[in-house]
Amino acid sequence: MLSTYSAILKLPGAKAFAFAGLLSRLPISMFNISVILMVQIQYNSYEMAGRVAAIGVLVWALQTIPTARLTDRFGQAAVMWPLTVLHVTGAVIAIWTAMTHGPEWMLWVAVVLASLSGPLGSLTRARWSHILESDDDIHTAFALEGVLDEILFIAGPALATILATAVWAPLGIVVSATAMVIGIAILLPQRSTQPPTRKETGGTGLGIRVPPAIVAVTLIALGIGAMFGSFDISTVAFADEQGHKAWAGLLLGIVSAGSFMGGLFYGSRRWKTPLWKRTVLGALALGIGFTAMSLSPNLIVFAIVGFVAGSTIAPSLTNTDTVVQRVVKRDQITEGMAWVRIGMGTGVALGAWLAGVLIEQSGAHAGLYTSAGAGLAAFGIAVLTIPMLRNGTERQDGDPAARDAPPPHDAHSIDEFVEQPPLVPKV
């Protein structure tokens, strides 16, 4: 199974940018949960913690399209350094405000600045799309990215919880911001694998010409994001109710470990099932898994069910990224994937806010039920958008002629809008 991944990692520069990209996006798994923990500890309010986190995630979602367009137009190095400075500035203000019990509006300002972090999850995926040609290799690369993300989501929340509850409330934010700076400093000088900019290719952005298939996966990502946003804060509250708050990070890590194993297996296979069907079935599995988890009576059952449910996460996120890869040009890849990120981020913000209110009023299970409902909603959206997914992605994998043809739903010329692989994402 691992030989599938080793083949693409042997390509020049692949290991270096994969490692640097992994380090640079640690805030995706640590920043949100670290803010929730810091605010809850300092202000003793889950509702306030959910509200502050929601503001930050919403801004992060809204910034993904503009910063992705800038990245595609001017290059990763020109755009990501200023955004990294903004993230660190916001993190410092958030820590200072919380530790001095400053007003909530200052926390809002801080998370707004910190959330202007750019398309961190798309930087390495864009590089894979640049150096790879075949659908099979790109499927493997995106699955690898999903697996690497799960390493972050195994270690990140657990580390953030331990640091916040056992050492110092804002230490998780310090660690994640430091990792981002180091990762960006290693990644950006690697010019040989950086995709060409739009200024170099003469290409144009998507603008309002967003393919229906991308609209579909963006809406699916909205539901999945709401599921994740409500799940994080609900897990902290559930562990707290059970008398073991410090275990929250371990529980999140177990769920991510399941996702890691699921993603590793999924990416090693060459699937004959059409991508649109895998996208729908993945959403169904997510909904069922998180519904079962919401019914857990104790931490042990939660952990066991969570591992199984988690195995559906990475494959589902791989599917959404692959849909985008199928229907945009090479110099539109970051912008195309940003639509999925904005759907995910908006969902996370809504989920965190709603779960925070419900937990404050009715307890942790109310938040877990919110997560389950969002997962089922994502499946419902997937079913309703089947025609968009099918028309946008169906083709014979490995058929060069099919890859060169415009998507079946396309209303534009092939020069404006072609499938990705011959030229060649969900934090």
Distance, in Å, from the CA atom of 97 to the CA atom of 356, rounded to the nearest integer, reads: 21
Q: Identify the residue with better confidence: 228 or 200.
A: 228
Helix 26-43 and helix 46-74: axis angle, to 10°? 150
Whether 424 shows a pLDDT value over 70: the answer reads no
Alpha helices, DSSP H only, in 44-122?
Answer: 46-74, 76-99, 104-114
pLDDT band for position 11 (cuts 50, 70, 90):
confident
Joined tokens for residue 64: 């993904």
The pLDDT assigned to 331 comes to: 66
Lowest mean pLDDT among 3-12, 80-89, 133-142, 349-358: 133-142
Between 206 and 359, the higher pLDDT residue: 359
Mean pLDDT value across residues 245-274: 83
For residue 133, give every residue at least 6 positions away whose Cβ sits within 8 Å of its Cβ, in sequence order, or none: 421, 422, 424
Pick the CATH number of 14-404 from 1.10.260.40, 3.40.50.360, 2.30.180.10, 1.20.1250.20: 1.20.1250.20
Averaged pLDDT of the chain: 83
pLDDT of 314 higher than 90? no
Structure-token pair, residue 249: 């990070």
Q: What is the arithmetic mean of pLDDT over 346-364?
A: 86
Q: What is residue 231's DSSP assignment?
A: H
Closest residue by Cα to residue 420 from 345, 335, 342: 335
Res 157: pLDDT: 73
- Average pLDDT of the segment spanning 405-409: 37
46-59 residue pLDDT tens: 889 888 988 887 88
Closest C-alpha to 129, from 193, 65, 186: 193
Between CA 127 and CA 149 the distance in angstroms is: 16
Predicted confidence (pLDDT) per residue in 210-237, tens digit: 889 999 999 999 999 899 889 988 998 9
Q: How confident is the model at residue 368, as a pLDDT?
A: 96
In this structure, which amino acid lies at residue 269?
Answer: R
Please name the amino acid found at residue 201.
T
Rg of the chain over all Cα atoms, to the nearest angstrom: 20
* pLDDT value at 146 more than 50: yes
Residue 188 CB coordination number (10 Å): 21
What mean pLDDT comes out for the span 104-125? 91
| CA gap 290, 370 in Å, rounded | 10
Using 50, 70 and 90 to split pLDDT, how confident is the model at 2?
low
The answer on pLDDT for 400 being more than 80 is no
Is 385:219 a contact under the CB 8 Å cutoff? yes
Q: How far apart are CA 146 and CA 129, in angstroms?
A: 15
The DSSP 8-state label assigned to residue 414 in this structure reads T
132: nearest Cα among 13, 260, 20? 13
| Residue linked to tokens 């900019």 | 197
The length of the chain is 427
What integer pLDDT is reported at residue 336 of this predicted model?
82
State the average pLDDT over residues 403-411.
36
Most confident of 10-19, 229-238, 281-290, 334-343: 281-290
Q: What is the pLDDT of residues 169-179, one digit of tens each?
A: 999 999 999 99
Is the model's pLDDT at 85 over the cut of 90?
yes
Whole-prediction pTM: 0.72
- pLDDT for position 142: 80
CB neighbour list of residue 325: distance below 8 Å, 6 or more residues apart: 129, 138, 142, 333, 336, 420, 421, 424, 425
Average pLDDT (322-343) is 79
pLDDT band with cut points at 50, 70 and 90 for residue 208:
low
- Top mean pLDDT of 3-17, 93-107, 312-326, 337-351 is at 93-107
In this prediction, residue 150 carries a pLDDT of 67
- The arithmetic mean of pLDDT across residues 336-350, rounded, is 81
